[in-house]
Structure 1
Amino acid sequence: MHKFLTRRSLITSAALGAGGLLSGCDALSRSSGFQNILASAEDANFLVQRALGDRMELASEYSVADLSPKFRANGTRDPGTPVYAESAAQGFADWQLRLTGLFAKPQSFSMSALLSMPQRTQITRHDCVEGWSAIGQWTGVPLKLLLDLAQLQDKAKFLVFHCADLLGGRPYYESIDLLDAFHPQTIMAHRLNDEAVPIENGAPLRLRVERQLGYKHAKYVTEIEAVSTLDNIGSGKGGYWEDVANYEWYAGI
């Protein structure tokens, strides 16, 4: 089982282990502005992330020979709602991915439109917080292409992924920052191991953000909302499990 650290312990670890990044900036650490950053959960996460190395580095990729015999499902296995069941019965031909919020050109993409775009295929390892891993081949549209089409506004800092499944009566959602959004391995995947993504794995569309743990890989995605803050989404912590179980917002591996 992966151990989740508190934001305070992460900040302390970064200070001690990342080349003395914080301790080497005494003047900065004494400033009132710096203290305000540490008081903000969002900005404290950013501080730690930047201390942990090059987040644009690629996650390891594997060969077909390395594929797991079965790619296990994490989280919801089937949204089970009438709307989702009806869409599944149509082979998700009516599925729409909406880009909303802080875009200059908010828009919606059908599955056929997404399939007509340039695709990326990658074989990567999925690490689940439950303690298991699986290697799968994912194909999908690089998220960067969609963001370029919709044109993010300058105020945008995060992308929120709204999903078709409910947990405990609450809509599932996750979020990432723009560094992960523009990472070359961040894709909206519609194929797993050269087949349409199964329902249990997030059909018809799921996020793959390969530098983070599995709970960040939102399934059944219906909407990508660009926002300037996470304060007004869910309970304000950036994701369903972050809200209900205090999982860390940044789950980098």
Structure 2
Amino acid sequence: MQDNTIVYTHGHHESVVRAHSWRTAENSAAYLIPYIKEDMHILDIGCGPGTITLDFARLVPKGHVTAIEPAPGDILTQAQDLAMTQGVTNVEFRTGDIFKLERMFGDRKFDIVHVHQVLQHIDRRRVPEALMQMRAVTKPGGVVAAREADFSAMTWYPESAGMTEWMETYQLVTRANGGEPDAGRRLVSWALKAGFARENITTSAGTWCYSNPGEREWWCNLWADRTVSSNFKPTALKSGIADQEKLDRIVAAFKELGKSEDGWFTVLHGEIICRVD
């Protein structure tokens, strides 16, 4: 993954890890839980701080979870430390490239290969290739599972010019990086291009909804921080997609939404389960 095929729009700034650490199997992979059995071996790609990964590990007490991130660094150390703190031992964290899974694992096969919010950051022309690699390390009868946000389908209230600017800017920055912000709606198309038969693809949609005061303000504040503190800012400025004034307007809009008594923000995700023959 150390090339131009993946450019993570956010990076691992504290504001980003703050959001990732909130994720659990229940709130971010509920569509997959019914497929998990206690003796399974799972590959979790793009594990971040490891909160979903560790939930998977607890669901497979007689199995094992392998989790990978594209590069060594603090985020993998954080995941390893969390596993140690929580006493979860049937898990392994390591670096790995989604485009080299077959080479990395050889004949080793997994019951489930999972990604969450990863495919949207891959060079959109190569997403089917990534899914093919996931399938290559999945056992016959196993599943490839993916859940991706769909930014154009996100909704919020009250509407504001600043929030509209954020959506337009985010779309442009992500696409400038080669990614696809509206990944959720494209999952079936990508899976078909990867060679999965349509009858082997199960689809669903999931949401995150931030409407009560505490959750809404938490969500809006972390996105305000991402806008000016994560990798998003230098990309937006360097590419000319935004200037500092525009970014400041976006920050103000998020903070205003976070404090709005009638505020609402919902994230829509596409979800697929692809059965491997």
TM range (shorter): under 0.3
Structure showing the higher helix proportion among its residues:
2
Q: What TM-score does the superposition give when structure 2 sets the normalisation length? A: 0.24
Q: What TM-score does the superposition give when structure 1 sets the normalisation length? A: 0.25
**Higher RCO, 1 vs 2 (CA within 8 Å, ≥6 residues apart):** 2
